Amino acid sequence: MKTKVYIIILYFIPFVLFGQDEVVKYFDNGNIKYIGQFADDKPYGVFKYYYYDGKLKSSVEYFNNGHSASCWHYHRNGNISAIGLYSDQKKDSTWIYYNNKGNIVLEETYTNGIIDGKVINYYKNGNKLQIENYVAGQKHGVCKKFYLTGEVKVICEHSNDNLHGVYTRYYKNGQIDTQGSYINGLRRGFWEYFDLNGGLLGKREYDKFGYEK
């Protein structure tokens, strides 16, 4: 039976056939590398992938006639490293990533294999580090950055992957530290700088090339 390879997890490597539709590949130490099933040349059910020492590496469950797959990836210590969905071999919807201690570190949103939507980074303590918005693989819209303790640090905007619009940086107490504007990634116009109590410390003006006047 000729089989097609769905999703790069199969590594394009040869396999051993058991029965009509079960496939098993082994490491050179005799441990199973992966095991799964095909029907009409399409994967179905659960495929499992293992580390060299036999620990579970990934579990991939196919559905929608083999076109979609829910994925669970694992660290060597057994904690989940990533959860997500493939659609026609491309990442789709929300993917969530974890460190080996089980703490979330990143969330990404995909459409047809391209980042499209919110991307959220996290500190080790679980608080959000940064929230960005993407459209068709490029940063677009409002971006927020946070201090380790949760206070807003920066609010800015992107357009076509460039800083574009008002940029505001805050002290931990909520007072504005710095405020100005970007045009296509370059500082433009007047930028203002403040102390912890909101008092104006100074201003700087930038020309259309991003140089200080």
Rounded Cα–Cα distance for residues 183 and 181 (Å):
7
What CATH code would you report for 1-102?
Answer: 3.90.930.1
CB atoms within 10 A of CB 53: 9
How far is CA 58 from its chain centroid? 18
Task: DSSP for 118-165, please give it.
Answer: EEEEE-TTS-EEEEEEEETTEE-EEEEEE-TTS-EEEEEEEETTEE-E
pTM of the model: 0.84
45 contacts 53 by C-beta, under 8 angstroms = no
Q: Based on C-alpha coordinates, what's the Rg of the chain?
A: 24
Average the pLDDT over 109-137 and give the result. 97
**Is residue 157 scored above 90 in pLDDT?**
yes
Which has the higher per-residue pLDDT, 17 or 165?
165
Q: Tell me: the pLDDT tens digits for 63-99?
A: 999 999 999 999 999 999 999 999 999 999 999 999 9
**What pLDDT is stored for residue 21 in this prediction?**
81
CB atoms within 10 A of CB 195: 12
Query: Hey, what are 118's tokens?
Result: 């919110």
**What pLDDT is stored for residue 4 in this prediction?**
38
Q: Tell me: the pLDDT tens digits for 172-197?
A: 999 999 999 999 999 999 999 999 99
Rounded Cα–Cα distance for residues 161 and 141 (Å):
9
**Is residue 54 scored above 60 in pLDDT?**
yes
71 contacts 86 by C-beta, under 8 angstroms = yes
Residue 10 is classified by DSSP as G
> In terms of Cα–Cα distance, which of 102, 109, 111 is closest to 82?
102
* Residues in contact with 135: Cβ distance below 8 Å, sequence separation at least 6, in sequence order: 116, 141
pLDDT band at 41 (very low <50, low <70, confident <90, very high): confident
Q: What are the residue boundaries of the structural domains of the chain, listed by start?
A: 1-102
**What pLDDT is stored for residue 15 in this prediction?**
41
pLDDT band at 133 (very low <50, low <70, confident <90, very high): very high
**Is residue 16 scored above 70 in pLDDT?**
no
**Is residue 5 scored above 70 in pLDDT?**
no
